[in-house]
Amino acid sequence: MENPDTISQTVLKKGLDAGTAFEILSIDIADVDVGKNIGAHLQTEQAEADKNIAQAKAEERRAMAVAKEQEMRARVEEMRAKVVEAEAEVPLAMASALKNGKMGVMDYMNYNNIKADTEMRHSFGQNTDDTSDDEYK
């Protein structure tokens, strides 16, 4: 059973083929040892290797996403710093405009009124966000 070619060759050497007076009806085998299924083992190993590769790629994508998120957070902080920097220049520009006569006192007062109105509207918006829909239930 281990080597069926050897059995066939032995039978043919002895001349016991279909053209003789004897035909082989069966071959009795006393013991059969079945080895491990190498094909199945190789498929299992390949599947495990594929799984490991997929996991490594997924981890790489996750790490890239985390790195991208950190980059975006750093960019947001950069932009906030630029906004603060630009806002710091506004009072200086207004002072310069007042000194040079490009802006009058009434313009300055209107600017302050608009600024106060904007701050008030922002505060109203924050109050309604805090209460949400609880008042209407």
Nearest 10 degrees: CA dihedral of 99, 101, 102, 108? 70
| Model pLDDT, residue 125 | 83
Residue bearing tokens 């957070």: 73
How many whole angstroms from its chain centre is CA 100? Answer: 57
Burial zone of 76 (CB within 10 Å; 0-12 exposed, 13-18 middle, 19+ buried): exposed
68 — pLDDT class (breaks 50, 70, 90): very high
Mean pLDDT of the chain: 82
pLDDT in tens, 72-123: 999 999 999 999 999 999 889 989 998 999 989 899 899 899 999 999 998 9
Record the pTM: 0.44
In angstroms, what CA-CA distances link 23 with 9, 29, 98, 124?
15, 18, 122, 105
pLDDT in tens, 25-35: 556 655 555 56
Contact 24, 16 (CB under 8 A): yes
Q: What is the mean pLDDT of residues 30-44?
A: 74
Residue 40 pLDDT > 60:
yes
Q: What is the mean pLDDT of residues 3-8?
A: 71
Q: What is the mean pLDDT of residues 37-46?
A: 88
For the chain, what percent of residues have pLDDT higher than 70?
A: 72
The Cα–Cα gap between 59 and 121 comes to 46
